[in-house]
Every structure is written in structure tokens, then in C-alpha cells.
Structure 1
């Protein structure tokens, strides 16, 4: 029995792990490599294994850095099943098709330039149709229910509390007389986050493959985070300029709507018109609404007492582009939630064009902004930005809300590992070098854990 690390090693994208158990080969996650154009070009590289030889795939959750190359895997010959939670099946139907659409648009743009230069045309990584076809391979697994997915290989999924349907994958592997219990943390959620349950504890393992995204830092408390957001929205009521919130379509958008409902009167949300201006976020919110069974206790109570926890009396869901354009006629009193989360595309840029230059407007930054993105430029205090060749002066107030994260911080990761009674060896993945190093030191000092920092294409015998 062997595991090979083929992604998310010393970085947080491209999760992909290959297990060989006797005559069977099992893949855990098959994610997109994200970042610079130079890094993303590697998504087109051949897989470092034969897709036709893979017998089964386990998917921990729907985020594209874990799921985004699954249609490509099938395009290149994989014909088996993809085992994941039911909510992840539903979210992937939206997210992978959207990724296929973006692939098509990007290649159309690139091929126009290539055609003019007489260069060979290129194909998209995969298309919308190929993403839809990939969906036929998905098979749902419930939390806590052991399922034999291949002879001698049993999968049990536990709630990871990261996004809806996210899972810790516990694999019991048997080859002849040998049996090993390997636990993949997937992405572990931030304890106390709205809607979702806290990450479940697992008691025993022979090996733990563990994420380390925030392995070197602590998050701000939820109470202080909500207090800060409430103060900003309440203070903005006096000026009544529009509030723009760039938000990720899956996870962060639903958290915002849920919290707006929770503090509807206290924050004065009832004095605003709230617009959810993202077709993908609208679809994702419907998926969240359909899976109340896996909410945390508080969210379940909200659902039982007042129905859909994401529906506000003053919420407008704008699917069509012409409805989105009408929002730009509103000079004050609108809270606009739109993609993309890092302001690199989508409808938020159009709202910036009509509002950023207004002194009474506000921008709430509620998610991570990578270097080189428009969102990061605003966080760093840019006085002017460029949109479609036009220079826009930044006069709006920019607010960065601390404490909002879908990932466990260092203490959360340590607490989760602390539930293992036998203190199994750990391989750290899905983290930048500083995060991995910081978490490794704490695991060694507090639990005397045997810790390995995964390297690309490293192989470990189980």
C-alpha cells in the first residue's frame, strides 16, 4: 500500500493524492492549479498517472482547487465513479459547469488573437458539455455511513464544516493480511461559523493527511467580527450611499445572507434594499436551502421557525444581466452582493464603475484577496483603478472585515488532531511553507506527533 502526493504540496491549490492498494488505484481529489497564468498552464499537462487505470475517486468537497480537474480526468479516460457527499454533488453541478463556461470564453478570446497572428488554435481545458457529462459519474455518500467503494476499500465521510457538503474522508484499506486506516482531513472549517456544524472528531488512524492553510495564525473571534460588520452597516445608514460586497458564490454569500437575517433589525438591514447579483451565487444558495438536514443546531432552528434562512423580505435575486444593470441606477440605499470574490471579474466590477468614485459609497471586503487582484489593490489603498480602459478614482470607503474564514486556524487544526487517541503520524498538505512549518512545530511540541511536510510526487508506504 502506497500514497503519492500529486498536488497541494507546499501550496494550497491542485489537491490530488493517489493511493495504490494491491491491484487497485484510488484518487482523493483532483483539483485545479490556481494562481498566476504560469501556474495555471500546468492544468493542461498530462496527469502523472493513467486516468484509465484509476478505479475510484473520492472527492472531499466542491471547491475547484479540489474538484476542478474532474471533467478533464474523465475527458482523458477515467470511467469510474466519484464518491462524495450529496450536497457536494449538487454544488459541483453548478461550479464545474461554470468553470467549463469560463474555459470556453477564455479560449475564444485567446483564439481570436491567435487567428490574427496565424498561430495554431487551442482547445479549452474542458467545456460546459464535458462538465455536464462528468456529473453522471458522481455518487452520493452520507456522513457517518461506511460504504465499500472497491473490494477491501471502505469509505466513511465525516462533516468537515468547511462549506456545505465538505467532508473528512476516512478510508479503511485492506490488502491481504494488512489493514490501514488513513484519514484525509480535506479542508477543515472554522469552528463556530454560521450555518455549518463544527468539524467532526475522528478517534483513530494509522496516518492523517491534514490541511495546513492557516497553520501559523489565529483568527479573530466571531463576536468581534459580527460587531465590526454591524457597526459599518449601521454607520453607513446615515450617508445611505450604496454598500458593495464582493463575495465568493459558495459559502461566503450564504454566510452573509444568513447573518443579515439574524441581525436584520439590529443592524438596520430593514432600511436597505439587498441585491444578490450573481447567477452562480443564486443557484448555490438554492442548494444550501435544500440541505437543512446538515445545518448546525442554530441554523436548523431558524429554518424550522422561519423557513429559508437565506431569504430576506427586502432581498432581490437578479439572475438576468438587464436586471443587474438596473441596480446601477440606484444612487443610495442598496447593499449589493456580487462576484467575483476577489474582484477579478463578474458583476462587481460594473458596480465599482458606478459607485467607487462616490464618497458616500462603501466596499466591504469579506474574503481573502490574493496579490495582483483588484480586490487586493483596494485593500492596499489604491487611489485609482482601471476598468475596461477607464481610470476610476477611489473615493468610496474600503472596509476589510477580519475574522471571516472558512478554514480552521492553527488552534482549530491542533484541536482537531488532538481528538486522535493514538496520536498517529501526520502528513501536512494544502499550505504555504510558513503555514506548514508553523503547524508542524506545534504538533511536535504539543502532541509529540511524527510530522512529514509533503513534497511533490513524494511516495509513502503505508
Structure 2
């Protein structure tokens, strides 16, 4: 068996691991590299293997850095099955179509600039036709049920607790009369997070490919984040202003809606209008509603005892659809909460809300996720006095608050506890999906715990097992 780490190797994005067994090939994930446009465009465009030579793609979850390059794989000749969980398949219907629209829009933007400088135009990485072709290849398997990947390889999905439908993949591989068990963590979630069940502790694994995103830090607890949200809301209500929350459409938006529902239902904050102003987040919320079987006991208990079976719906909440409805929010007076994409405030409707409200000292901008360098979200976190929105400078008079407890990735304690439970049979750990500092810190922690063979592969490196 040979594994080649074609993505998320010594970096976080672009998850893509090619496994060759018995002369056949399958992929674990096919995500987009994210970052500087020119560098990532080239990386994402070219595969270092023949796409048509891959028999099957096994997808851990629907996030773009794990699934976002699937249409390009299909465009380049892949035609095999794409197997994931039912919820991930439904989320991918929205996420991949949205990604195709972004690819087309980005190419159009770049080509306008190139035209002014007589440069050659670029093609989008893939288009909506490629996305539709890819979605036709999707099939689904529920958690805890065995399925065939290729001849000689079977797999089962287990709850990863990262986002709805996210999966740990355990593969049983038979080659030359020998049996080996390989596990891929995908992105591992946290214990005690709202809505989702905790990650499953698996057993009897020989080799492990494991994420290391936050291998060097400890998160604040979800309860602390909930308490901090209450404090921010009470302060905003007292000032009478709007609370604007840049949010990722998948997972974070639904957690915020659920948390606000809890706070109002329990009388911890006044009842105030909440607007979910992101078409993608609105669609994603319908997938969450359709998969109550994946909720944790806390969410199910609240649905029973509150008298409202839909935890993503309450009288104060409005799902905003049209552009006109979105614009109308600007004419309404606070206090209110506006949850809007994108999560780093780089694109989407949240930019309009920030432009119209960031100069008001009664406004609160609440940051609830990690912000990449050079993004508007990062500049707000760093308390810059002026920021550029739609090409114009705006004085930041709004209050900027940050809550760090909502991360959907396990921290060092969660990652090490999960991996160390495999001690005994486990021969080797491959750390992926992490920058060098977090990965090396996690490797040291695992070695300290008794897992002596921990390896941090380079991009495109192959290992034979």
C-alpha cells in the first residue's frame, strides 16, 4: 500500500490523500488550497496524477478545503463514485454549486484587470457545469455501515463531530494476503459542542492519518463561549445598537442561531430580532433540520422541552432571502442581531451591513471565528481605526468583540486523547492538516503519551506501508 499526501501536508488546506492498493487507487478528500489567488490557482489546477486513474473518492465532509476541488477532478477525467455520509452529500449540493459560482466570479474579476493591462484571460478552475457533473457521482453511506471502496478495501464512517455529517473513515485493506487497518480522522470535532454529537473513539487501527490544526493550543469551553455571547448581547441591548456577526454558512451560523434561541428561551437576554442574512446559510439550515438524528442529547432535549421542535426557528428569527429584504434591514433600528457571511468579512452581504453600521458607536461587531491575515475580519480584530470596504475608507467607531470558544476543531487535549486511545496496535501516525508549529507540538505530545512513530509528511511525499 502506498499513500501520497497531495494536499494538507505541512499546511491546513487542500486535503487530498491518494492511496494505492493492489494496483487500484482511491482518494481521501479532494479539497481546495486556499490563500493567495495566483499561487493557489496553479496548485488547484494541476493534479500530479491522472484523474481518470482514480477509482473512488471517499469524502470526509463538505467543507471547501476537503471537497472544493472535486469538480476540477471530474473535469480532468475522474468518473468514479464519490462516497460520503448522507448529510455531507446534501451539504455538498449547496457548497459545491456555491464554490463553482465563486470560481466563475473570481475569473471574471481577474480577467477585467488583465484586460486593462492586455494580459491573457484565465479560465475558471471549474464552472457550474463541472459542479453539476460532479454532484451526479455522489452516493452516500450512513455511519457504522461497511461499504466497498475498491476490491480488497472496505470502509466505515464514524461520527467526527466537526460539522454536520463529518466522518472519521476506517478502512480495512487486504493486500498480498495481509490485512491492515488505516484510519483517516478527517477534521476532528470537540466534546460538548452545541448541536452535534461528540467524536467517536475508534479502536484497533494500524495506521492513522490525523489532522493537527490546533495541535499547539487549548480552547476555551463551549460554556464559556455561551456565557460570553450573553454578555455581548446584554451590552449591545443596553446601547440600543445592532450586533453584526460575520459567520461561516456551515456550522457556525447554526450554532449562533441555536445559542440565541437558548438565551431568549431561558430569559437570559431580551427577545430581540435576529436576521440570518446569507442565502447559503439559509439553505444549509434546511439540511440541519432534515438531520435531527445527528443532534446531540442537549439539542434534542431542548427541542422537546421548549415546545418548539425546530431549534433553528423561533419568533424573533427571520431567514433573509432576497437582496431587497437584505437592504431593508439597514432601515430598521436596533437593537437586533445580523448573522451574515462571509466568516472573515471578505465577501457577501455582511460587507454591506458593515459599511452601513461600522461608523456608529452603538454598533457591535462580533467576531466568532479565526480570521486569516490581511482579511477585513483580521483588521477589525486588530482594532484598526479605519478599514477599507468596497474601496472606501471607513472609520471604525463600532465596538469590536471577539469570542474564541466556538472552534469546530479539537484542540491539543482533544486530539491527543483521541489518538492515544489507539495505543497498542497503532504502528504509525501521519500528521496532516496543520502548520509546522501545531503539528510539531502535537507530535511531541503524542510521543510523550507513548506513540513513538509520529511523522509529518511533506507535500506530494509518498510512503509505502
**TM-score of the two chains, using structure 2 as the length reference:** 0.97
Per the alignment, residue 220 of structure 1 pairs with 220
Alignment correspondent of 2:135 = 135
Q: Distance in 2 between matches of 1:180 and 1:240?
A: 61
Report how far residue 331 of structure 1 moved.
Answer: 2.9
> How far apart are 1:234 and its partner, in Å?
1.2
Instruction: Tell me the SS of whatever aligns to 1:360.
Output: coil
How far apart are residue 10 of structure 1 and its match?
Answer: 1.1
Aligned to 1:279: 279
Query: Which segment drifts farther, 109-118 or 430-439?
Result: 109-118
Equivalent positions of 1:35-184 (< 5 A) are 35-184=35-184
Match in the other structure for 1:416? 418
Q: How does 1:363-382 map to 2 (within 5 A)?
A: 363-382=365-384
- Which of residues 443, 460, 464 is equivalent to 1:461? 464
Unaligned ranges ≥5, structure 1: none
Q: For residues 226 and 396 of structure 1, do their structure 2 counterparts lie closer, same or farther at Cα, with a shift above 3 Å needed?
A: same
Give the Cα–Cα distance (whole angstroms) in 2 for the partners of residues 445 and 290 of structure 1. 43
In the alignment, the residues of structure 1 paired with residue 248 and residue 451 of structure 2 have an alpha-carbon distance, to the nearest angstrom, of 38
Supply the distance in 1 between the matched residues of 2:114 and 2:221 (Cα, whole angstroms).
51
Question: Is the 8 Å Cα contact of residues 17 and 28 (structure 1) preserved in structure 2?
Answer: yes
Q: Say whether the 8 Å CA contact 2:423–2:450 is kept in structure 1.
A: no
Are the equivalent residues in 2 in contact too, given 1:7–1:14 (CA < 8 A)?
yes
1:445 aligns with 2:448: yes
Aligned residues: 462
Provide the aligned C-alpha RMSD in A: 1.3
1:312 is aligned to 314
The 3-state SS of whatever aligns with 1:20 is: strand
**TM superposition shift of 1:394:** 0.6
Preserved CA contact (<8 Å) 2:3 2:19: yes
Output the TM-score relative to the length of structure 1: 0.97
Deviation string, structure 1 residues 111-157 (Cα, Å, up to 9, x no partner): 23333444332211111222122101011011000111221110100
Q: Secondary structure at the match of 2:284?
A: helix
Equivalent in the alignment of 1:235? 235
1:428 aligns to 2:418 (yes or no):
no
Within the candidate set 330, 334, 339, 1:337 is matched to 339
Partners of 1:334 and 1:129 in 2: CA distance: 40
Q: 1:405 aligns with which of 381, 392, 407?
A: 407
Cα distance in structure 1, aligned partners of 2:419 and 2:225: 26
What does residue 357 of structure 1 align with?
359
Contact 2:264 2:271 in 1 (8 A): no
Report the counterpart of residue 188 of structure 1 in structure 2: 188
